[in-house]
Every structure is written in C-alpha cells, then in structure tokens.
A and B are shown apart, each in its own frame.
Chain A
Amino acid sequence: MAGSDRDVVVVAGVRTPFALAGAELSDVPALELARIAAREVVERSDIDPGEVDELLAGTVRCNSGDAARAIALLAKLPDRVPALTVSRADATGLACLVEAALRIRGGECETVLAVAFDSSPRPAAGRAAHLSLAHPVTGVSPGDAAERLAREFAIDREAQDRFAVRSHERAAAARDSGALAAELVAVPIGPQYRAMVERDGGVRDDVSLDGFTRLPPVLDRAYGTVTEANAAPEADGAVAVLLTSGRFAAARGFPAFGRIISWGFAGCDPRRAGLGPVLAAPVALRRAGRATLGQIDRIEIHEGSAAQVLACLRAFGSRRFAERHLSGGPVGEVDPGIVNDLGGAIAYGHPAGASGARMVLGLLRGLERSGLRRGLAAMAVDGGQGAAMIVEAGG
C-alpha cells in the first residue's frame, strides 16, 4: 500500500499554540496565525512551495475576504496555487483534512496544504453568552444539548468535573514531557514584537476537583451540571498540515508520519448533537476495510463538553443506543484509558475551525510515540452532525 498514489500521507503538521479567546493571541489577526502555521509547515517539511497543488483553509469565523487565498499569498506560495475555504462548523478542522484527502485520493492533487484556524473575540461569560451560541435553526445551544445528554445518560456533575480535570492534567503532562514541542511554532506578537507565545494558554497546572466543583452551572442553577470549566472555551489558533499522495512522498523522500485511511460524516438529532461521533465512527470504520473499534489503538473525541464525551463513551457500547440509532449492533466498548491521551478542548480551548486538525496531529504523534498503529478522531457538530476519521501512524 505504501507509495500508492491513492494513499493519503500526512507529511508534516505544525500548529500555533492555542490561546483562550481574548487572551495571549487576541492581538494577532486570525490570518496572521494561519500564515505563520502555513509558512512553518512549508519550511519544516522542506517542500518546494511550487509543488503545492492547492491550499485549503478551514475556518468558521474568519472567512470574510477569501481566507484561503489570502493565506496562500501571505505564506508566499507561488501565485498559481489555487485556494479554497471550507467550513463544517465545529468539525471544520476534520472536514478540511477530508477535503484534502479527497483531492489526493481522487488524483486531482499530489500535495495539498490544509490550514485550519480560527480566532474569536473575547467571549462574554455567563448564561446569555451561552444562549447566544444557540443554533440558528434548531435553537439548541451547546449547553442545552450537553445537559440533555447528562440527564439521559445519567452523567453526574462529579464525573464531568473529574473528566475536565483529567483533560488539563493530560495536556499539562503532554506539554511537560515535550511531546508537543515538535508540532508547535511560536507566534511573535506584532507589531511590537515584545513577546512570543510558545505555550498553549488554556492548559492549567492548578486545576483541582474542588475548584471545579465550586463553579456554578451556566444554564440551570438548580439542576444543571455543565459549567465554564467542564466545557470547551473558545480559543484562537491555527494548524497547518501538509498532505501528499503516497507516491509523491516516496518520490521526494518525505518521511511520512501518518496516513489518512478513511472518514465518515453523519447527521443526527440536533437536540443530541453531542452523540455525532457515535454515528460517524461506524461509517469511517466500515470504510477502513470493515475495521472494528477493537482494532483502534487510540481515540480522540472532541471535548465540546465533558458530559458529551462521557455520553459518547457510553453510547459506543450501548445495545439500546445501537438499536435505536444504528442499523447493526453497538459500535463497541471503549477503554476510557485510550481516549484523549493528550487532553482535549476543555484544556486547550476550541478554535472552531482548527480543533479537528489539532486532534489528528496529536493522534498521529501519540501513535508514533507509543509504537501503536491505528487511531480514530471523532467530533460532534452543533446542529446535529458527527465527523470521524481513521488514521494510521507511519508511512
């Protein structure tokens, strides 16, 4: 399979540190974050920028003014490289990689530079702010959906807070072990250039279950469980991934560090949008040569909220859920120990356009480091969708 032109190889990936909205990166324009990541992946991969066939940019909030083409020009790709901006709400980062993979698998492109990024204004805190995130058509806010899953899957407040603490602990451990160094590029803060942002700003060392427990629920003061701490905050950041065909990588001698095997998307009940991963994962597994969940070594589930991830973990193994929503049996039991090894969006924050690409990058590095092979990345999308991708470490 290696070296085949239908093989989609991840040659290199780089990201800026993620910073909570309104924090360290708030003075850096989104396009500048994207430019830095895009340029850096070109530099580190040592690809001839003239060999990039297309640039794809994924963003939710920053697509005014033709983002993709702007990034291509700012990153000093040759004029003739075309560019497309893609968007699939929270799963934009994954969708961007999928669009790239489609072009390579279809033979349309040999190399695609995918840049997933976003930047948000400083969010207003509290109930009103959460409600303002309600989907324009369904009217369901992420908090609503998370509370519903918490009730239906009986996930109590403590379980959610424990999961949130774990996210920070894992992310801090990953940072301290140096596991993230290879994927990060520092961002100089212009135009004064007095500082460089080198670390993820949302990851905290001082978290404790006690501290999280004391926080009030955001939506429902009496019975609610979802807080500012056990759901993903908005964030700024950019991820750039260089993908090529297997043939191209082999011809140029690129040391590929991963392959994209398959992917799948699925729609679901907007009121239970958080379960999207459980519906999309079977699609991706089926397309990966009828693989089973048991053959997956590591799983990344986007942490929209702790309640939502924990609900997914239960739904993956649930016969009742499978009977109601899937055509076959349950997807399979998930060992929580293999989920979100580097922590997730609860700690890093969630730049809506970028998170999916960060997860895939982290997944591939984690597999490589542990000598493991297969990984699954899955995300829920507000409005009721799931997205999933199966990757393999190495060329």
Chain B
Amino acid sequence: MSERSAAVVAKLDDDGVLHVVFDRPGERVNLLSADVLAALDGILDDLGRRSEVRGVLFRSGKPGTFIAGVDVEDIAALDDAFTAAEAARFGQAVFQKIAALQVPTAVAIDGACMGGGTELALACTTRLASDTPHTRLGLPETRIGIVPGFGGCQRLPRLVGLTAALDLILSGRSIDAAEALRIGLVDVVCPAEYLEREARAALLRGRAAAPGGTRRALERVVESVPALRRRALERARGELAARARPDDAYPAPYRALEAIEAAFTLPLHAGLDVEARLIGELVPSRTAKNLIWLFKSRHALRRGAEDVGARPRDVRKLGILGAGAVGVGLARAAADARLRVRLHDPDRESLLEALRTARAHWDAGADRGRWPAAEVDRRMAWLSPTTDLTGLARADLVIEALSAELDVKREAIAEIERRIDERAVIACQSACLPVSELAAGAVHPERIVGVHVVEPMASTQAVEVVPGPRTSPESLATVIDLFTRFGRVPVVVRDQPGFLVSRIQTAYFAEAVRLLEEGVAVTAVDQAATTFGMADGPFERLDRLGLGAAVRVAVVLREAFGRRVEGLVTALESKVASGRGFYRWTDGRRGKPVRTRRTARGESALSLESVQERLTLTLINEAAACLEDGVARSARDLDVAMILGIGFPAFRGGPLHEADAIGAAVVVDRLSRLSEALGERYRPASILRAMAREDRRFHETTAARRRMTP
C-alpha cells in the first residue's frame, strides 16, 4: 500500500508506522519544492481515512541528507506580495496538518535539515537526529532576505524559547545535533544507523520520547512578562543594528523579530498570518531577489568544473610556493580539506609566520568549540614546510604564489616544471599579470592556469580563474574543482591585464584618489562607500591590501589602460615612499586617518551623495566595459565577483544589477554629464549606451527566467 509522487513516498510498515520518505529522483539533495509539498499534502489528507496508521515517520531516502530547504527557484518565481503570501500559507497549511494529526509523528534527521526541513520537523511530536557531523539544523531564511514562513518563527520560539530562537533565526546559522539537543530542538540524538529504530520505538510508545524544551524558569518568566520580553527583543534589535547592517538594506532579520514576538503575543493561527504577511512583503523585494539570485549563482559557479567539459584531476597533494597571506590561506584550506601540502618559501621566517598564522586560526576554532583541541595538531600535520623545492614530484597541483614580479614567477614556473609529474597542474597566483605572459616560456603551457585569489582572503570568497590561450580543459577543471573544495567561489575570466576584479577595483581606487585630490576627506570618501553598502571604503581597503601590492597592480594596469590610473600610481607611490597608509593602524584595527598636507583640510563642496554617485558610476561603467570586452563570461559572473571579491553590497546584487535598478538610460545620462564636466574617463561604455537605446537590462527579469513547471 503506497502512494507515489516524484519525490515523496508513503509506505506503511507491519507495525502500523507510515514512513513518509523524501527522495527526489536523480538529485543529490531533497528540496521542498511546490510539487513535493502538494504530494505531501495529498498523503496527509489520505491519512485521515486510514485507521491502521499508528504513527507517522518522516525521513529521507538519501543517506546523509534530509531536506535542504524550500526550492529557491520556487521562491525566486514569486513576483508579487499576494502569490508569495499564498505560497507561505500553503506550506503552513500542510505543516499544520502534520501538527494536527491524531497519531504521533516523528522525524528522523540525518544530514542537512535546513529551512523548510526544520519547519517540518518543528511540526512533529518527536525529533530525532543522527550524531554525525554532517547533520546540521537551521533556519537560514534571513540570509536570503526573507523570514521562515512555514511556521518556523512560531514553532521554534514555542519549542526552544525566546533566546535560542532569536539566535538561530536572526543569524541564520546552523547547529549540530548536540547543540540542537541542548537547546531542545531535537529530543533524541543517536547514531544514524539507529535513527529509524529509535523513531519507530518512540512512535509505538505513543508519545514524545522526552518533553521538549529545556529552558530554565528564568527564561519562561522573560517570555511571559511583556516588559521583560520587549527588553529582550530590543536588545536583539540593538545587536542587529550594531552589526552595521542598515535595516532598509537588509530588513529580513528585523522583520523576523516581529514574527518571533508574535509567537508570544498571538495565538498560532494569527502568528502564522504575520509570517505569511512578512513573506508577501519580503519575497518580492529587491534585497530578497538579489540575495536569492546570489545564492543560486554561487551554487551554479561552485559547479563550474562541470561546465568545462573535462574531468578534474583528483588533487590529493598540493604544492604551494610562497608562504605569504595567500599561500598560508590556501595551505589552511587544503589542510581543512585533508590534502597533504608541501609549503615552500625560501625564507624561514616566512614559514614560521605561516605556521603561526595557521595554528592561531585553528586554535581560535578550538576555543570556539568548533573542533577539539587535539584536532589542531592533526590539521597542522597536513602541512610540510620547506625552504627547498623538494617534495613537489607527487603534487597533483602546484600553486605559485611567491612573488608579484613577472620574472620571478616565470623562473618559478620553469623550476616547478622541472620537478613535477607531467600531468600535474600549475596554478599561478596573480592579481593582474596575464597568463599568456606568465606561461610564455613554459614547456607545457597547457597545464598552466592563472588564478587570482582575491585578497584579503578573510573577507572575500571570489577566486578569478584564468585560462591562458593554451590551457587545457582538464587543467582548468582541476583548478575550479579545487577552489570549490576550499569553499571559494571560482569565476572564470578572460586573460587580460587586471582580469576583472583588479581592473574594476583599480578604476574605483583611482576615482577615490581623484576625490581626495579635489579636497574630499579620506573618511568622507570611505563613508560614502560604506553608506552605499560597500564592505569597506576604498582607502581602508587599500591599506588592508597593502599599498605596495596596490601600486604593482596599478602600474601593470597603467601599461594596459593608460592615463586613467596615472593619478592613482602617483598617489600610491608617494604614500609608499612616506611609509604610511591612509589610516593609522593598531593591531589590525583602523584608527584615525593619517593627515597630510593635501588632505589636511578635507574641504570640499561635494556632498556625500555626489561622492557616492561618482564612486558608484565608476564601478558600473568599468563593469559594463569589462562585460563588453568579454572579461567576464556573463553579467552573473561579473556581479558575483564584485560582491564576493570587492565587497559590493549583496543586497544591490552587484554593479550590473545596480545599473538595471537605476536604468541604463539614467546611468548613461549621469555619466555623460560627469564626462562633460570632469573628463573622458566618465564616457559611458558603449554597451551601456546600446542598452539605454534599446531599453535592455544586463540581467533578465525574474519573469523571463521563471521556470515552467508542469
């Protein structure tokens, strides 16, 4: 006796337990797409007529993964408040049917249980989770600009209390089974192999295994006394604001506060209404659209190796030349991915510094309880530091990150080629040097790939991957695959000086320096950028990147693009000569700006809006020019690289999304006016003018992208 749909099946076992099994055919993970929800709804309706059912067990047919959430494609397709709210109401109704069942219900969670998956679990009587590290529970909705809308904001606070619910929903972070047990989100944690047995036993016993909710009495008082509760919510709001996310840019966590408050002030059905209303409000908003787009784009780019059309080489040993910031960052990522690393640097002090940095990072993780202290030694043991160039012959991939100088890099490539296996790949790290030049003297240019791991690594995720004219698809796929394993987002770009990130960023820095020369204060320029939503201001970023490195990039781009960056080179060179940055720094914290004769006054008539406009339009115009030149394969790639590479605000969806939002005609108009007043550099890119003429957009609209579902 079974009912079938594409992805969810119900089977009654001999003891009267109905197993509702999620198993999306042909996919690695289960998603609660609209059709799955509808099928689940049908199963639940049918259940009312089946008296032989003594309990219902929800589980996954895929070992190691439960339900990864709602299908974001479905959310992305919701264009107006009404349909979005209705979609939420439908999900709520299905889960309400689970909660209202007369028989006990249990959910067996092994693997990722996110968003809608967690909300389904919350509607059950008993929740069981496996004790494996890949079991993670969470409600990440606020990270894509919405709130949990299938009852999560109502049921989670009721189950685990205000404090824990605020933490999980507002941060969107996921937790492991042990923590879920501690806060009362799950009732039982056991080995994956025993999950089903324990769940069936709990169902046949008739009631929940243990009463959920381990809150202390104090917590219950806070929840029930309105004044205390309000204070707790205010504190959470204050903490959100302190993280410097303007609530008009990222409203979701603030709106989630409302929904969570409703859990204590309103009956369930009214609280669910609040959720549905918020979904209606948030889902069609620009922020949610862009964050969802970013979410999907990242996933697509992380599958980029598949698009190359060649099998990536299985990298088990990595050679890294150069123990600078990038070298260490990659060595650490490799150790996290359980790869043997031979880390070379000619300088012993650099190697020691690398070991210190790596150890400090893992120690910090241990301190935060992310892994046991003994794990730190095990991670360190993946690294093998050396001052000579031995130990490369078995490396599947060697990353050259020794120096920024072309000659040194070429020499290093030649040295690596002499030492490695003929099938091994060489990735050459550079912010700006074309692979065609780096690989010019190589014996096997087909195995050389350019990479630009965007710095600072701690705050960026983008990696530009640059195939040279002779790079083989296998080499390209290997590099993309490796950086994906490292948790980075690889974007394939065309082999041109500065590639994408450095080129656009240099234009942006150049504009910032011009503003400075016009008398705008360093802090005013940076503030204009951060008010716009940039992760940091251009001058703070220049300091963080290192002015020496920035000059080298600017010099290379001056050769390629001429006078536009002349002012930047001069300004940075004088800064380097002065030995100081734009700001004073103490222990990695930014202090006051360094005063110089030129910037002492900081007097300028330019308003914050004007400064912002000039910075933004510079970014947009250079981005459009890059797309026109084919530096990025698509508007998607370009915008992702800008968000994850230079800290362009995610809620704006990147410079090309921003251009779409402003409208190409308006962008062209403003640029033209700046061009007349200030010079050629603002001349709108021809692709912008063409789009303005034809009223086109860089990104297709959601409506056009909407998937047709049967």
| Partner pick for B351 among A39, A48, A188, CB 8 A cutoff | A188
- A188 in contact with B385 (CB, 8 Å): yes
Interface assignment of B381: CB less than 8 Å from any CB of chain A: yes
Interface assignment of B175: CB less than 8 Å from any CB of chain A: no
Could you give, for residues 33-49 of chain A, a 1 whenever the CB lies within 8 Å of some chain B CB and a 0 otherwise? 00100011001101111
Known: A188-B355, A191-B359, A193-B352. A76 touches B390 (CB 8 A): no
| Partner pick for A186 among B348, B359, B382, CB 8 A cutoff | B348
- A44 in contact with B390 (CB, 8 Å): yes
Interface assignment of A139: CB less than 8 Å from any CB of chain B: no
Interface assignment of A154: CB less than 8 Å from any CB of chain B: no
CB-CB contacts below 8 Å: A87-141 with B: none
Interface assignment of B394: CB less than 8 Å from any CB of chain A: yes
A198, closest chain B residue (CB): B348
Q: How far is the CA of A180 from the CA of B350 in the complex (A)?
A: 24
Neighbouring A residues of B393 by C-beta, 8 Å: 46
Neighbouring A residues of B494 by C-beta, 8 Å: none
Interface assignment of A329: CB less than 8 Å from any CB of chain B: no
Interface assignment of A211: CB less than 8 Å from any CB of chain B: no
- B391 in contact with A46 (CB, 8 Å): yes
Q: How far is the CA of A44 from the CA of B394 in the complex (A)?
A: 10
Known: A39-B384, A75-B381, A76-B382. A195 touches B391 (CB 8 A): no
Interface assignment of B311: CB less than 8 Å from any CB of chain A: no
- B352 in contact with A195 (CB, 8 Å): yes
Interface assignment of A336: CB less than 8 Å from any CB of chain B: no
Interface assignment of A196: CB less than 8 Å from any CB of chain B: yes
| Partner pick for A76 among B340, B356, B359, B377, CB 8 A cutoff | B340
Q: How far is the CA of A319 from the CA of B44 in the complex (A)?
A: 101
Known: A190-B359, A192-B356. A43 touches B348 (CB 8 A): no
Interface size on B, residues (CB 8 A): 23
Interface assignment of B332: CB less than 8 Å from any CB of chain A: no
- Secondary structure of the A contact surface, majority rule: loop
Q: How far is the CA of A192 from the CA of B342 in the complex (A)?
A: 20
Interface assignment of B380: CB less than 8 Å from any CB of chain A: yes
- A46 in contact with B352 (CB, 8 Å): no
- A193 in contact with B391 (CB, 8 Å): no
Q: How far is the CB of A141 from chain B (nearest CB, A)?
A: 37
Known: A43-B386, A46-B394. A193 touches B381 (CB 8 A): no
Neighbouring A residues of B355 by C-beta, 8 Å: 188, 190, 193
Interface assignment of A74: CB less than 8 Å from any CB of chain B: yes
- B385 in contact with A48 (CB, 8 Å): no
- A48 in contact with B394 (CB, 8 Å): yes
- A193 in contact with B384 (CB, 8 Å): no
Q: How far is the CB of B265 from chain A (nearest CB, A)?
A: 51
- A196 in contact with B384 (CB, 8 Å): no
| Partner pick for B391 among A43, A192, A194, CB 8 A cutoff | A43
Q: How far is the CA of A49 from the CA of B381 in the complex (A)?
A: 15
- A194 in contact with B352 (CB, 8 Å): yes
CB-CB contacts below 8 Å: A159-198 with B: 186, 188, 190-196
Neighbouring B residues of A40 by C-beta, 8 Å: 384, 386
Neighbouring B residues of A195 by C-beta, 8 Å: 352
Q: How far is the CB of A172 from chain B (nearest CB, A)?
A: 22
Q: How far is the CB of B19 from chain A (nearest CB, A)?
A: 36
Q: How far is the CA of A339 from the CA of B342 in the complex (A)?
A: 38
Q: How far is the CA of A302 from the CA of B515 in the complex (A)?
A: 75
Most buried by B among A188, A193, A195: A193
Q: How far is the CB of B422 from chain A (nearest CB, A)?
A: 14
Known: A43-B386, A43-B391. A76 touches B381 (CB 8 A): yes
| Partner pick for B352 among A35, A76, A196, CB 8 A cutoff | A196
- B390 in contact with A43 (CB, 8 Å): yes
Neighbouring A residues of B385 by C-beta, 8 Å: 188
Interface size on A, residues (CB 8 A): 21
- A196 in contact with B381 (CB, 8 Å): no
Q: How far is the CB of A81 from chain B (nearest CB, A)?
A: 14
CB-CB contacts below 8 Å: A35-82 with B: 35, 39-40, 43-44, 46-49, 74-76
Neighbouring A residues of B394 by C-beta, 8 Å: 46-48
Neighbouring B residues of A43 by C-beta, 8 Å: 342, 384, 386, 390-391
Could you give, for residues 329-347 of chain B, a 1 whenever the CB lies within 8 Å of some chain A CB and a 0 otherwise? 0000000000010100000
Neighbouring A residues of B342 by C-beta, 8 Å: 43
- A188 in contact with B352 (CB, 8 Å): yes
Neighbouring B residues of A48 by C-beta, 8 Å: 394
Known: A46-B391, A48-B394, A186-B348. A193 touches B382 (CB 8 A): no
B388, closest chain A residue (CB): A44
| Partner pick for B380 among A46, A190, A194, CB 8 A cutoff | A190
B359, closest chain A residue (CB): A191
Neighbouring A residues of B352 by C-beta, 8 Å: 188, 193-196
Neighbouring A residues of B359 by C-beta, 8 Å: 190-191, 193
Neighbouring B residues of A190 by C-beta, 8 Å: 355, 359, 380
Q: How far is the CB of A93 from chain B (nearest CB, A)?
A: 23
Known: A43-B390, A44-B391. A35 touches B351 (CB 8 A): no
- A193 in contact with B390 (CB, 8 Å): no
Neighbouring B residues of A191 by C-beta, 8 Å: 359, 363
CB-CB contacts below 8 Å: A317-376 with B: none
Q: How far is the CB of A80 from chain B (nearest CB, A)?
A: 15
Q: How far is the CA of A193 from the CA of B357 in the complex (A)?
A: 10
CB-CB contacts below 8 Å: B359-403 with A: 359, 363, 377-378, 380-382, 384-387, 390-391, 393-394
Q: How far is the CB of B332 from chain A (nearest CB, A)?
A: 14
Neighbouring B residues of A76 by C-beta, 8 Å: 340, 381-382
Neighbouring A residues of B348 by C-beta, 8 Å: 186, 196
Known: A43-B342, A192-B356. A74 touches B381 (CB 8 A): yes
- B391 in contact with A35 (CB, 8 Å): no
Q: How far is the CA of A39 from the CA of B390 in the complex (A)?
A: 12
Q: How far is the CA of A40 from the CA of B340 in the complex (A)?
A: 12
Neighbouring B residues of A74 by C-beta, 8 Å: 377-378, 381
B341, closest chain A residue (CB): A76
Q: How far is the CB of B184 from chain A (nearest CB, A)?
A: 37
Q: How far is the CA of A2 from the CA of B359 in the complex (A)?
A: 46
Q: How far is the CA of A57 from the CA of B356 in the complex (A)?
A: 29
A42, closest chain B residue (CB): B391
Q: How far is the CA of A196 from the CA of B356 in the complex (A)?
A: 12
Q: How far is the CB of B483 from chain A (nearest CB, A)?
A: 22
Q: How far is the CB of A25 from chain B (nearest CB, A)?
A: 16
Neighbouring A residues of B382 by C-beta, 8 Å: 76
Could you give, for residues 490-508 of chain B, a 1 whenever the CB lies within 8 Å of some chain A CB and a 0 otherwise? 0000000000000000000
Q: How far is the CA of A371 from the CA of B181 in the complex (A)?
A: 70
Q: How far is the CB of B327 from chain A (nearest CB, A)?
A: 15
Q: How far is the CB of A325 from chain B (nearest CB, A)?
A: 46
Q: How far is the CB of B317 from chain A (nearest CB, A)?
A: 9
Q: How far is the CB of B339 from chain A (nearest CB, A)?
A: 9
Q: How far is the CA of A194 from the CA of B380 in the complex (A)?
A: 16
26 A-B Cβ contacts within 8 A? A35-B381, A40-B384, A43-B390, A46-B390, A46-B391, A46-B393, A46-B394, A47-B394, A74-B378, A75-B381, A76-B340, A76-B381, A186-B348, A186-B387, A188-B352, A188-B355, A188-B385, A190-B355, A190-B359, A190-B380, A191-B359, A191-B363, A193-B355, A193-B359, A196-B351, A196-B352
* 11 extra A-B contacts, CB within 8 A, seeds A46-B393, A74-B381, A76-B382: A39-B381, A40-B386, A43-B384, A43-B390, A46-B391, A47-B394, A48-B394, A76-B381, A193-B353, A193-B355, A196-B352
